Amino acid sequence: MKFFRYIKNIFLGIWHLLQGMYITMLNFVRPKLTEQYPENRGKHVYFERFRALLTMPHDENNHHKCTACGICMNGCPNGTITVISKMENDPVTGKPKRVLDKYLYDLGGCTFCELCVRNCPFNAIVFTNQFEHSVFTKERLVKQLNRPGSSLAPKPVQKPEVKVSNGNVEGPALHKGQPVPPEKTQTI
Amino acid sequence: MWSFSELTEWIDATLRSLMGDGWALFVEFVLIGVAVLVAYAVLALILIWVERKVCGFFQCRLGPNRVGKWGIFQSVADMIKILLKELIRINRSDKVLFRMASFFVIIGSICTFAAIPFAKGLQAIDFNVGVFYVLAVSSLGVVGILLAGWSSNSKYSMIGAMRSGAQLISYEISSGLSLMAIVVLSGSMQLSEIVAQQADTWFIFKGHIPAFIAFVIYLIAGHAETNRGPFDMPEAESELTSGYHTEYSGIQFGFFYLAEYLNMFIIAAVATTMFLGGWQPLHIAGWDGFNAVMDYIPSFVWFFGKTFFCVFLALWVRWTFPRLRIDQLLNLEWKVLMPICLVNLILMAIVVIL
Amino acid sequence: MKEKLINRFDWLTEADVVMSDGRLTIAVEPAKLREIARFIKECGYDFLVDIVGIDYGDDLGTIYYIAKGSDTADTIALQTKSDNRENPVLPTICDIWEVGQVYEREVHDFFGIVFTDNPDLRRLFLRERWKGFPLRKDYDADPAINPIPDRNELFIDMDALPEMESDEDGEGRTWKMMYDDNDYIINFGPQHPAMHGVLHLRVRLDGEIVRTVDPHFGYIHRGIEKMCESYTYPQILHLTDRLDYLSGAINRHAFCLCCEKAMQIEVPQRAVVVRTIFDELTRIASHLLGWGSMCMDMGAVTAFIYGMRDREKIMDIFEETAGGRLMVNYHTIGGVAKDIHPNFRRRVKEFIPYMRKMLKEHHMLFTGNPIATGRMDGVGRLSLEKAIALGITGPSGRASGWANDLRKAAPYAAYDRVDFEQVLRSGGETFDRYVIRLHEIEQSLRIIEQLIDNIPEGPYTAQVKGVIKLPEGDYFQRVENARGQFGVHITSRGDKNPYRVKFRSPSMVLVGALKEIAPGNKVADLIMLGGSLDYVIPCIDR
């Protein structure tokens, strides 16, 4: 009896080995999953919510929405964002007003937690899908998000009806993190 | 079927007409040596590429696909890289043995390689004890592996070498015994003679069940002798980083790497020669038309086709199964394979007598 | 329990034993600690969840969280304080709960509390020569005090056990070497292909056979608990994903639950269900990787790639809805960050049958394989008692037959409304720990299947105040992560930053189990056992 069990176990073992080989052969003939990256550049569809790079959208008149309030800078856990503001006389009222001078973003320190975007009361910054980050020196990872010569959008920014809490957004602005059409790939 | 001996005889005659017999022999030796070395290197490159590609396909990947179309030149690029790499000196290692070890391994495998009949009339060494020679020379490699592990002054290498010593010496037995079954069947130890006897029927068909059992055991034992998964305990990437060649770099590592792949080829080639009829085409008794068509296919195509079939089997097994533990491995050899081999030898003797 | 305690110990007053947050909190003096700890153990509380060290300013204290092995939701907290700040001394409890040994080492490392009679009180994460105790409030982080060493440090520091000369001061220590000169000691890690992360094991070998295993932690310690003390609560959330990166969403859930409990926020049902689905998807992804890497540890590289291939589908689901793959960043205090993507339901529904089919293939490829079963059978047996004593929770504990699933014991999120089984096996061997992960994937699929069509409509996050401040007090919340019970302890003083945050890592005790089950087995088994326990190092080196 013991002998037959021994023989049976041997054949059972061989059967399981063959099953394993069947699975690998199945995958041998299946279509392959490798993403051919540089070739599929442009063809591959990225998920619109994918967080890859913080950007500040500008409209066609080179206007952005940032009022240099600094909420994003204070909310950032890693000190990734530096908002440098300057005082300027408002052309309409003539009173001195704080405007954005430089919006510096250190990609090297960013953990993509999205606190800045969620905290921004003016929807001035968004994450885009542009993920090709490699540069040769660390310094080049520090990016200036506002374009040269850009300014705050002139029409009075509506007081947002969004109730902003620290990291939590309530109200209609549900899809705030949603994409603006990705800009053209910058050459590095 | 065209024989390569026409070519070799023509070279021999030309050389003898140009110079004295001694010089002609000398030039021939040099030519053969160069030819064997070149074939060895080229085959190794092809095998490395094949392995990587096949492995990729088993794993739902594409494998190398950057250097050339389908990554054909990937292993050439790797070779150039490995040639340019620094040979790192290991502190407090045994320098002489450390250098020598990789040569032991590669010389053992080249010597075996030279004895294989690749095609009709294409065989460098044809002893009358060819099987014996192949077994003897191929086990030279274990010396190199032991030396490599010992001289590296590394604990990982040491464990790897010790495992390897135990493994190779054990599996030498069943691979030898399974070949003996064929020697019993053919009554000759000369490889060319064994191939010639398979002109009508291959030994795997002629020898009935014992030949088939011997074939399977030879593949298992041979696989174990090449230190490839699931028998890759001496390397055991996930346990010992890479076992006996952990400390090697550059071309010294390259020698181990080449020898590993070529050993896989050699095992497949010996299996082909002994069981699958070597370069002989497939003949089925009575089907004359079919046999004639088969004869038109050149002999080296038959040989390499069968060999690569065996290589593919080895790769398939390697990329499917987990690694054995050292005690399981030795149990498999001493408690399963070797007794079966001995019984099989008796069975084969009975088959031959009947 | 409260009456029992007060009846037994006449020195305990009503004020010392407080029922808060669903558990008894007992404040005791150090001298009485062992007495009461023994009594609690006798009452069936045999699972020491965690020891939290706290610097109260004037004095240093510890909180012991102890749960019942038979009902892991039933928890008692023991609080004690040592009034001497210079040479704080507390009695050890590691003879009562075995796992206390490593927790005490951690507290000793960060607070400098000496636990008398603890046999191995080396520092756990930092070097022996490190000056100062980092989690004390008066710690000076000046790099000049602890410069980066310019030379290799000797292993002698790691291999010597301190022995106590006297109970009063920590000065009079002598050292005892752990190994002989003739021992064959081999370092697995910190950089080693088989180590999941940068774990360092000092292994004493006898030929191929492992004799002792001594783990060293701290190679990627990032001081997250210290960082948390200077962060606001929403900022801390981005660190929780980075503890056990394979079950990031679940860890984050624990922290959110803890804050929500403290602030008494009602989370909308939509968020609750979506969070549960995310947790289960994370669990599947983690188990797939755990299965794959265990197979790879045993030499089957192909299985690993198959595991990664299936995990990729889950990563895609995460990416589409949350925007992150590994660091999902989805749960927030009060709900979730964004509403689910319109494709979310469809993708999850496609994934469930796909995963079922693939599970079958995984079983065919590896579970029945005679080489694999031959290697796993009878190796690394962990008995039920030992599992509880060592605090081995999660799939590894359930493989030993310990019903410790918090999703059943103390259902949080939407687990009380779904029908699923707690997978239990009785063997406690490597094969049980291996196969239980695949079975848990099936159960997770069941949970997702029940929830995916029943996501309620409504807001996806509750209204939360602008600046989140937790009311004063201690809060402790545990969830079932892919490796076991993950706990978050927050001590708040009412500020926008927490006063102390402690994470209970399930992985740390899993490495401790390696010490127990590896000796006597082969080197190859050591690696396989590591794979079967499936620890994640960044969770240990917080």
Residue B72 lies in a domain: no
Residue A36 and residue B65: Cβ atoms within 8 Å? Answer: yes
Domain of residue A119 covers: 53-155
For β-strands C484-492 and A53-55, DSSP reports them as unpaired
Residue with tokens 């009947």, as numbered in its chain: B354
Nearest to C437 by CA among C286, C297, C298: C286
Q: ∠ CA B281-B283-B286 to the nearest 5 degrees?
A: 160
- In the prediction, which pLDDT does C157 show? 62
Q: ∠ CA C146-C147-C153 to the nearest 5 degrees?
A: 95
Are A84 and A36 a contacting pair, CB within 8 Å?
no
Residue A24 lies in a domain: no
- In the prediction, which pLDDT does B238 show? 67
- Other Cβ atoms closer than 10 A to A102: 14
Instruction: Give me chain B's average pLDDT, please.
Output: 84
Return the amino acid letter for A188.
I
CATH code assigned at A99: 3.30.70.3270
Q: What is the domain partition of chain C in residue ranges?
A: 2-161, 224-540
Nearest to C420 by CA among C454, C396, C449, C398: C449
Residue B60 and residue C299: Cβ atoms within 8 Å? Answer: no
Residue A65 lies in a domain: yes
The 8-class DSSP code of residue C363 comes to I
Residue A24 and residue B319: Cβ atoms within 8 Å? Answer: yes
Residue C309 and residue B60: Cβ atoms within 8 Å? Answer: yes
What is d(CA B328, CA C374) in angstroms, rounded to the nearest whole number? 8
Which residues of chain B have a CB within 8 Å of the CB of A13?
none
Least confident of A5-19, B329-343, C153-167, C257-271: C153-167
- In the prediction, which pLDDT does A61 show? 80
Are B184 and B348 a contacting pair, CB within 8 Å?
yes
Average pLDDT over residues B56-70: 86
Could you tell me the CA-to-CA distances from C140 to B97, C61, C62, C132, C133 in Å, in that order? 53, 20, 22, 7, 9
Instruction: Give residue A90's pLDDT band: very low, low, confident or very high (50, 70, 90).
Output: confident
What is d(CA A164, CA A161) in angstroms, rounded to the nearest whole number? 9
pTM beyond cutoff 0.90 = no
Least confident of A152-161, B3-12, B84-93, C462-471: A152-161
What ipTM was predicted for this assembly?
A: 0.84
- In the prediction, which pLDDT does A188 show? 37
Nearest CB to C375 within list B61, B156, B325: B325
Using a 10 angstrom Cβ sphere, with 0-12 exposed, 13-18 middle and 19 or more buried, the burial of residue A95 is exposed
Residue C232 and residue A166: Cβ atoms within 8 Å? Answer: yes
Best to test chain B binding among C152, C184, C205, C301 (most B CBs inside 10 Å): C301
Nearest-Cα distance to chain A for C373, in Å, is 10
Residue C478 tokens, joined: 């545990």
- In the prediction, which pLDDT does C284 show? 92
Residue A134 lies in a domain: yes
Tell me the backbone φ, ψ of residue B40, rounded to 5 degrees. -60, -50
A vs B: CB pairs below 8 A: 35
Which residues of chain A have a CB within 8 Å of the CB of C306?
27
Tell me: cis bond preceding C190? Omega within 30 of 0 counts: yes
Which residues of chain A have a CB within 8 Å of the CB of B316?
21, 24-25
Q: Strand (E) positions, B70-217?
A: none
Which residues of chain C have a CB within 8 Å of the CB of A71?
none
Question: Can you count the helices (H) and strands (E) in chain C?
Answer: 18, 17
Partner B, chain A 163-182, Cβ-Cβ below 8 Å: none
SS3 C81: strand
Residue A25 lies in a domain: no
Burial C54-65 (b: 16+ CB within 10 A, else e): bbeeeebbbbbb
Nearest-Cα distance to chain C for A174, in Å, is 7
Instruction: Give residue A176's pLDDT band: very low, low, confident or very high (50, 70, 90).
Output: very low
Which residues of chain B have a CB within 8 Å of the CB of C194?
238-239
- In the prediction, which pLDDT does C156 show? 62
Are C75 and C49 a contacting pair, CB within 8 Å?
yes
Which residues of chain A have a CB within 8 Å of the CB of C230?
none
For β-strands C114-116 and C89-91, DSSP reports them as parallel
The end-to-end CA distance of chain C, in Å, is: 34
Nearest-Cα distance to chain C for A47, in Å, is 5
Nearest CB to A32 within list B61, B317, B321: B61
What is d(CA C377, CA C135) in angstroms, rounded to the nearest whole number? 44
Tell me the backbone φ, ψ of residue B15, rounded to 5 degrees. -65, -40
Which residues of chain A have a CB within 8 Å of the CB of C501?
none
Which residues of chain C have a CB within 8 Å of the CB of B320?
300, 302, 365
- In the prediction, which pLDDT does A155 show? 61
Which residues of chain B have a CB within 8 Å of the CB of C527?
238-239
Residue C365 and residue A164: Cβ atoms within 8 Å? Answer: no
Which residues of chain B have a CB within 8 Å of the CB of C301?
59, 319
Nearest-Cα distance to chain B for C163, in Å, is 31
Among chain A residues, the shortest Cα distance to B230 is held by A17
A30 and chain B: CB distance < 8 Å anywhere? yes
Residue C321 and residue A49: Cβ atoms within 8 Å? Answer: yes
DSSP sequence for C205-257: EETTEEEEEEEE--TT---HHHHHTTS-HHHHHHHHTTTSGGGHHHHHHHHHH
The 8-class DSSP code of residue B245 comes to G
What residues in chain B have their Cβ under 8 A from chain C's Cβ atoms?
58-61, 155-156, 159, 163, 229-230, 232-233, 236-241, 319-328
Residue A175 has pLDDT above 60, yes or no: no
Which residues of chain A have a CB within 8 Å of the CB of C233?
166
Q: Which residues contact C344 (CB under 8 A, 6 or more apart)?
A: C317, C320, C321
Residue B65 and residue A33: Cβ atoms within 8 Å? Answer: no
Are C110 and C134 a contacting pair, CB within 8 Å?
yes
Nearest to C37 by CA among C82, C81, C79, C83: C79
Instruction: Give me chain A's average pLDDT, please.
Output: 76
Is the torsion defined by CA of A12, A15, A20, A23 positive or negative? Answer: negative
Residue B321 and residue C371: Cβ atoms within 8 Å? Answer: yes
Residue C162 tokens, joined: 């301190």
Nearest-Cα distance to chain A for C466, in Å, is 4
- In the prediction, which pLDDT does C195 show? 73
Identify the chains in contact with B, defined as 3+ C-beta pairs within 8 A.
A, C
Could you tell me the CA-to-CA distances from C241 to B150, C119, C287, C327, C467 in Å, in that order? 45, 34, 17, 6, 22
For β-strands C200-206 and C209-216, DSSP reports them as antiparallel
What is d(CA B183, CA B194) in angstroms, rounded to the nearest whole number? 8
Q: ∠ CA B139-B146-C527 to the nearest 5 degrees?
A: 110
CATH class of C2-161: alpha beta
What is d(CA B205, CA B190) in angstroms, rounded to the nearest whole number? 20
What is d(CA C80, CA C58) in angstroms, rounded to the nearest whole number? 13
What is d(CA C78, CA C81) in angstroms, rounded to the nearest whole number? 10
**Residue bearing the bigger pLDDT, B60 or C153:** B60
Is the torsion defined by CA of A58, A62, A67, A68 positive or negative? Answer: positive
Nearest-Cα distance to chain B for A26, in Å, is 8
For β-strands C484-492 and C473-481, DSSP reports them as antiparallel
Is the torsion defined by CA of B230, B175, B348, B190 positive or negative? Answer: positive
Instruction: Look at chain A and report how many structural domains it folds into.
Output: 1
Residue A17 and residue C337: Cβ atoms within 8 Å? Answer: no
Instruction: Give residue A168's pLDDT band: very low, low, confident or very high (50, 70, 90).
Output: very low
What is d(CA B345, CA B177) in angstroms, rounded to the nearest whole number? 7
pLDDT (tens digit per residue) in A133-144? 888 988 888 888
Residue B106 tokens, joined: 């590669």
Q: List chain C pLDDT tens, one digit each, 542 residues.
A: 777 777 777 777 777 777 777 788 888 888 888 888 888 888 888 888 889 988 888 888 888 888 888 887 888 888 888 877 878 888 888 888 888 888 888 888 888 888 887 888 888 888 777 888 888 888 888 888 878 877 776 666 677 777 655 444 445 566 777 777 788 888 887 887 777 778 888 888 888 888 888 888 888 888 888 888 888 888 888 888 888 888 888 998 999 988 888 888 888 888 889 989 999 999 999 999 989 888 888 888 888 889 888 998 898 898 888 888 888 888 888 888 888 888 888 889 899 999 999 999 898 888 888 888 888 888 888 888 888 888 888 888 888 888 888 888 888 888 888 888 888 888 888 888 888 989 999 999 999 988 888 888 888 888 887 788 888 888 888 888 888 889 899 988 888 888 889 998 888 888 888 888 888 888 888 888 888 888 888 888 88
For C224-540, CATH gives 1.10.645.10
- In the prediction, which pLDDT does A177 show? 41
- In the prediction, which pLDDT does A170 show? 41
Instruction: Give residue B349's pLDDT band: very low, low, confident or very high (50, 70, 90).
Output: confident
Are C278 and C331 a contacting pair, CB within 8 Å?
yes
Among chain A residues, the shortest Cα distance to C319 is held by A50
Nearest CB to A77 within list C235, C302, C321: C235
What's the half-sphere exposure (Cβ side, CA atoms, 13 Å) at A19?
Answer: 17
Nearest-Cα distance to chain C for B292, in Å, is 43
Residue A35 tokens, joined: 């993403």
What residues in chain B have their Cβ under 8 A from chain A's Cβ atoms?
54, 56-62, 65, 316-317, 319-321
Find the helix packing angle between C269-297 and C523-533, rounded to 10°. 170
Q: Which residues contact C481 (CB under 8 A, 6 or more apart)?
A: C244, C247, C250, C251, C254, C283, C394, C506
- In the prediction, which pLDDT does C3 show? 74
